[in-house]
């Protein structure tokens, strides 16, 4: 059976996020996967998640939060010289259910995908977008 392409894995990731499926989302990651955020976000947002279970636990908290994503898409996908590494431009739109405020955010992500599983993801997103809609300042790094 052929391994899923990076585009397949990222499309599945978007679908799982929009469906609020934290378990399915976590299953896209290798057991020892790492997610890193390059900038401090709202309080409680870790800069680094290590391991599938940490990713699952944090994803459940985010998916239970007042942030409701209505769209999460790969706006651009760039293949690098390393066949495992892609660079994505992501776009997300949503609403904060407690305030009714809508938001659109973009980020650049560098993702390593091996054998159909994400093994490392580094996200370069501007946390000020969520600060603006939630009213929570970013935590100190």
pLDDT tens, residue by residue, 22-55: 999 999 999 999 999 987 666 667 889 999 999 9
> Is position 13 within any domain?
yes
Q: Residue 67 has what pLDDT?
A: 86
35: nearest Cα among 117, 93, 98, 106: 117
Are the CB atoms for 39 and 127 separated by under 8 Å?
A: yes
> Is position 107 within any domain?
yes
> Is position 140 within any domain?
no
43: nearest Cα among 141, 136, 134: 136
Across the range 99-125, mean pLDDT stands at 94
> Is position 27 within any domain?
yes
CATH number at residue 14: 3.10.450.50
> Is position 1 within any domain?
no
> Is position 83 within any domain?
yes
pLDDT range class, residue 1, cuts 50, 70, 90: very low
Across the range 82-102, mean pLDDT stands at 93
CA distance 48 to 37: 6
Number of separate domains in the chain: 1
Boundaries of domain holding 44:
6-134
> Is position 139 within any domain?
no
> Is position 102 within any domain?
yes
CA distance 22 to 61: 9
């Amino acid at each position: 059976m052929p391994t899923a392409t990076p585009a397949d894995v990222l499309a599945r990731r978007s679908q799982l996020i929009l469906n609020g499926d934290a378990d399915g989302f976590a299953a896209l990651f290798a057991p020892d996967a790492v997610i890193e955020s390059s900038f401090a976000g709202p309080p409680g947002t870790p800069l680094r998640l290590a391991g599938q279970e940490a990713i699952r636990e944090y994803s459940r908290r985010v998916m239970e939060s007042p942030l409701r994503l209505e769209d999460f898409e790969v706006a651009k996908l760039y293949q690098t010289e390393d066949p495992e590494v892609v660079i994505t431009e992501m776009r997300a739109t949503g609403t904060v259910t407690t305030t009714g405020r809508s938001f659109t955010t973009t980020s650049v992500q560098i993702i390593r995908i091996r054998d159909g599983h994400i093994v490392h993801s580094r996200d370069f997103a501007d946390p000020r977008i969520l600060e603006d809609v939630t009213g929570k300042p970013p935590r100190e790094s």
